[in-house]
Every structure is written in C-alpha cells, then in structure tokens.
C-alpha cells in the first residue's frame, strides 16, 4: 500500500496545472464571464494534451492512463474553473467520434440538466423526443451528430452560473437511475480542485488584509474558518483519490458527499473571509460558489449517495 501520488502522477498534475494556468488564467476566466462562449481552440488544445483521451488505451490512440490520473487532471480543471462540458466529453472519448481529440464537444443530460447544450456538437443521454442539435464542428463532429440522442423539450434557463449555460430537460427531473458513477467521481474531482483553491484564496487574503492593526488571519474566528476549510479539503482529497483507486460505487458516493461539502462550504467561507469585497461581482469568489452549486446538481444527487451508503450498512441482513 502506497496511498500517495507517484512521481509520475505528481508530474502529470503539475503539467496540467501549468497548461491550464497558461491557457485559462484569471484574465481568461473574467473574459469568459463577459462572453460565455466555448473556446474551441482551447478544447482542441486540451484534446492534444490528452485531457479527454487520458484513459483511452494507447492502441486506440489514447494516453493509456487510469482513473487516478483522470481525477488529478479534473482536480486541476476545477481549480481554475475551466469551462465547458469537460466530464461528458471525457467520458465520450472512444465512444463518440472526435471527443478524444477535442474536435467534438460532447455534453450530456445529467439529472434533468444539460450544460452547454447549444454550443455542443453532441448531446448524450436518455432524453425523450429528438431534435437534432447542430453546432459548429469538424468532420468528426458531423459524423458524430448522426448518433446524437438529442433534446426536444429542453428549455434554456437563465443560468445562475455565468460560466455554465444550462438547459432544463422536462419530464426527466427525477430519473437519475442510470447515472454513470464515473461522471460523479470526475465531478467530485472538480469540486476538490475548487475547494482547494478557495481555501488558498481565503488564506492569502487572511494573511494580508489588516484590521485592528494586524492581519485578520491572526484572529481566531478567521483562523478557525480557514482551518475548517483545510480539514474539509483534506477529507475530500482522500475520499476522491481513494475512489479513483478502487472505483467502488460507495467510495464514489463518499467522495461526492465530501467534495460537494468542501466546495460549497469552502466557497461560502472564502466569501466570508473576504468581507464586503467577497460579495462583489468583481471578486471571483461567487464564481467558485456558483460553479460548485451547479456541480452538486450534476449526475445524481447527494441524497442518492447517502441512501446508497445507508443501504450498505444493512446489506446482508433480513
């Protein structure tokens, strides 16, 4: 048992971080808020870097890595709030033409919501009534469109998260039954990245912002908020990493609960530490919180995870 990152895994994580910080830094993030369009050039760069084909066997043109590596990459994506239907496209690699290389943008109807529907080439999921979804895309995308399970009664909503356009799918609101556990896990990994980042932002601010003649981080009320953020991040981290190693559905359910909690509570506490500034549009804190909220609705629900974990406790008894 060596439940720590290997050197290769650390290197991969650092590499993805460098790529994303270079290509989707704070300025890009803020620009995206003003014009939430899917950056297809970036999508293809991610494809070239192997982000979508990470788990595809090398024989099929993939990178041939496993779930732990995918989780590390998605953690980094969550850290910078990378936009677009990353999870759905990653899971479509090898199944939908063009997804692995980033030529096709694939989204999915998860839990009654579809993210980025109008800009995606392909919508996957069990959605009743079909309407072809068309969007720009290469030849591979055009080919993929033939196999689109598309969305008839999806209605756009004014998305709470300015970085994630959302459609509501009528009539499928409660049918989470067949949610792919990998979608849950990769979403949890994104939540982990967001949680770790908001903890860092809160700590940075607490070290530098002064009130009453000292850094606010010297006050225990603030210090303890930050410590609690870190504790939640570390619980989420081990839960997500362990689930990536075992791929066990209940490990994944645990990962979801801790990651959701770390991301949502972390963003709230980060806002609190930033005071009035945290309540402004200018500050990034709300973007972290809103994205975390969107992810809590993706791919099943916390209730489902809790019920699954509860069922395990009585399994095997009459």
Partner 1 sequence: MDLTHTPEEEEFRARLREWLAKMLPSLPAKPSPDDWPGRRAYDLGWQRMLHDAGYAGLHWPVDAGGQGATPTQHLIFLEETEKAGAPYVGANFVGLLHAGPTIAAEGTPEQRARWLPPVLRGEEVWCQGFSEPDAGSDLAALRTRAWRDGDDYVVSGSKIWTSHAEVADWCELLVRTDATAPKHRGISWLAMPMDAPGVTVRPLRTLAGSAEFAEVFLDEVRVPVANRVGAENDGWRVTMVTLSFERGTAFVGEVVACRRVLGELARTARKNGRWDDPALRRRLGTLNAEFRTLWRLTQWNVSESERTGGVPGAGGSVFKLRYSHARQELYDAAAEVLGPDALDQGREWTLDRLSSLSYTIAAGTSQIQHNIVAERILGLPKGR
User: Looking at 45, 223, 272, 293, which residue binds partner 1 (CB under 8 A)?
Assistant: 223
For residues 33 and 250, which CB has a smaller minimum distance to partner 1 in the complex?
250
C-alpha span between 236 and 164 (Å, rounded): 23
- As given in the structure block, the two tokens for residue 233 are 């991040």
Reported residue count of the chain is 318
Supply the minimum distance, in Å, between the C-beta of residue 55 and partner 1: 15
Residue 220 lies near partner 1 (rule: CB under 8 A) = yes
- Piece of 20-28, 53-61, 175-183, 253-261 that binds partner 1 (CB under 8 A): 253-261
Say whether 63 sits in a helix, a strand or coil: coil
Please answer whether residues 147 and 267 qualify as being in contact, where contact means their C-beta atoms are separated by less than 8 angstroms.
no
Q: Whose Cβ is closer to partner 1: residue 9's or residue 153's?
A: 9
Site string for partner 1, 254-273 (x = CB under 8 A): x--xx---------------
In angstroms, the CA 197 to CA 186 distance is 17
Residue 312 binds partner 1 (CB under 8 A): yes
Separation between Cα atoms, residue 17 and residue 193, nearest integer Å: 11
Quote the least distance from Cβ 2 to partner 1, whole Å.
Answer: 5
- Nearest alpha-carbon partner for 85 in 51, 55, 57: 51
Pick one of 128, 157, 238, 277: the residue that binds partner 1 (CB under 8 A).
Answer: 238
In whole angstroms, give the CA distance from residue 297 to residue 286.
17
Q: Which is nearer to partner 1, 268 or 290 (CB)?
A: 268
Q: Return the number of the residue (13 or 170) whose C-beta is nearest partner 1.
A: 13
Which of 134, 166, 172 minimizes the C-alpha distance to 153? 172
Q: Please state whether 80 falls in left (phi above 0), alpha (psi between -120 and 50) or beta.
A: alpha
Total site size for partner 1, rule CB under 8 A? 53
Among 29, 149, 163, 218, binds partner 1 (CB under 8 A): 218
Nearer to partner 1, 52 or 241 (CB): 241
Residue 235 is a binding residue for partner 1 (CB under 8 A): yes
Q: Is there binding between residue 250 and partner 1 (CB under 8 A)?
A: yes
Q: Annotate 264-297 with b (16+ C-beta within 10 A) or e (fewer).
A: bbbbbbbbebbeeebeeeebbbbbbbbbbbbbbb
Q: Which is nearer to partner 1, 102 or 217 (CB)?
A: 217
Q: Out of 7, 27, 59, 214, name the contact with partner 1 by CB under 8 A.
A: 214
Q: How many CA atoms lie within 13 A of 221 on its CB side?
A: 3
- Any contact of residue 5 with partner 1 (CB under 8 A)? yes
Say how many C-beta atoms besides its own lie within 10 A of residue 309's C-beta.
15
- Contact set with partner 1 (CB under 8 A): 1-6, 9, 68, 199, 203, 206-207, 214-215, 217-220, 223-224, 226-228, 230-231, 234-235, 237-239, 241-242, 244-246, 250-251, 253-254, 257-258, 303, 305-314, 317
């Amino acid at each position: 048992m060596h439940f720590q990152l290997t050197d290769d895994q650390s290197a991969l994580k650092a590499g993805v971080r460098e790529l994303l910080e270079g290509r989707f830094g704070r300025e890009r993030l803020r620009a995206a808020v003003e014009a939430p369009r899917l950056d297809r050039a970036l999508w293809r760069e991610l494809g070239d870097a192997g982000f979508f084909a990470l788990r595809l066997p090398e024989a099929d043109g993939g990178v041939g890595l496993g779930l732990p590596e995918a989780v590390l990459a998605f953690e980094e994506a969550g850290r910078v709030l990378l936009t677009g239907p990353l999870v759905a496209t990653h899971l479509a690699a090898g199944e939908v033409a063009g997804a692995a290389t980033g030529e096709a943008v694939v989204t999915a109807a998860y839990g009654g919501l579809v993210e980025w529907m109008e800009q995606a080439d392909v919508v996957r999921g069990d959605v009743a009534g079909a309407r072809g979804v068309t969007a720009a895309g290469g030849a591979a995308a055009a080919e993929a469109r033939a196999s689109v399970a598309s969305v008839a009664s999806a209605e756009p909503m004014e998305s709470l998260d300015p970085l994630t356009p959302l459609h509501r799918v009528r009539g499928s609101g409660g049918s989470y039954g067949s949610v792919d556990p990998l979608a849950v896990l990769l979403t949890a990994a994104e939540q982990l990245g967001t949680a770790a980042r908001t903890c860092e932002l809160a700590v940075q601010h607490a070290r530098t912002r002064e009130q009453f003649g000292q850094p606010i981080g010297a006050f225990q009320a603030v210090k303890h908020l930050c410590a609690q953020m870190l504790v939640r991040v570390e619980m989420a981290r081990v839960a997500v990493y362990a689930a990536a190693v075992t791929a066990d559905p209940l490990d994944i359910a645990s990962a979801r609960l801790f990651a959701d909690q770390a991301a949502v509570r972390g963003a709230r506490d980060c806002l609190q530490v930033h005071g009035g500034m945290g309540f402004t549009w200018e500050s990034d804190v709300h973007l972290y919180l809103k994205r975390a909220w969107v992810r809590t609705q993706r791919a099943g629900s916390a209730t489902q995870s809790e019920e699954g974990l509860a069922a395990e406790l009585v399994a095997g008894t009459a």
